[in-house]
A and B are shown apart, each in its own frame.
Chain A
Amino acid sequence: DIVMTQSPLSLPVTPGEPASISCRSSQSLLYSDGHHYLDWYLQKPGQSPQLLIYLASDRASGVPDRFSGSGSGTDFTLTISRVEAEDVGVYYCMQALQAPRTFGQGTKVEIK
């Protein structure tokens, strides 16, 4: 199974400031079709997870453009350009390259 490792696991943020989360996979997530099969999800307190980013850098419908994804191979980053109070919650990366799909441990983002 592909192991996903996120850092940091806890991220205190200041509204208006940028924030970034790192995700590393135990093997390359690049498929022969040229896509990197890496998704990002946010689980807000008391809610179900919601899709933010897919294929490493494609923003899901309705997701604010302050969220962006980047990276290649085994190293990926989720960046929030200017954090807002509503962005608090736990962020997960997940590899979609092969079954079983595997998630990172989660990064808890909270306001300082």
Chain B
Amino acid sequence: EVQLVESGGGLVQPGGSLRLSCVASGFTFSNHWMQWVRQAPGKGLVWVSRVSSDGGNTKYADAVKGRFTISRDNAKNTLYLQMNSLRAEDTAVYYCARIGIVAGISAAGGPFDYWGQGTLVTVSS
């Protein structure tokens, strides 16, 4: 059974830092691109960042570029999101999601076929 379990959320002051983790199980983690998606309270889904299966290719939303860093440790089956210089507008539930592998299309273009349960990040003084 595919499982994605996030952790590391919590309350942090503006300007502070947090590192989120997402532990994967039930599949070959190193074969899949991975993503972070966030959802502010009562709002919709917003893509945050993605990383290639080998960790060498990353992309970020403009809202987090220069402040967040996505990475992965394939030996530990774990995805990370290092969040620095946090702002009130970063308050959200953060989900990790797996990009599914679909025959005939690029590895980056697949759907988000599995999602974690999310971890809440609250930025407030």
The chain B residue with its CB closest to the CB of A58 is B102
Q: Is the Cβ of B110 less than 8 Å from the Cβ of A106?
A: no
Q: Is the Cβ of A49 less than 8 Å from the Cβ of B111?
A: no
Chain B interface category by residue count: 20 to 34
26 of the cross-chain contacts (CB-CB < 8 Å) are A31-B109, A33-B104, A33-B105, A35-B104, A37-B109, A48-B115, A48-B117, A48-B118, A49-B37, A49-B115, A51-B112, A54-B102, A54-B111, A54-B113, A55-B105, A58-B102, A60-B111, A60-B113, A92-B44, A96-B109, A96-B110, A99-B47, A99-B59, A99-B108, A100-B61, A104-B44
A residues whose Cβ falls under 8 Å from a Cβ of B: 31, 33, 35, 37, 39, 41, 43, 48-51, 54-55, 58, 60, 90, 92, 94, 96-97, 99-106
B residues whose Cβ falls under 8 Å from a Cβ of A: 35, 37, 44-47, 50, 59, 61-62, 95, 100, 102, 104-105, 108-113, 115-118
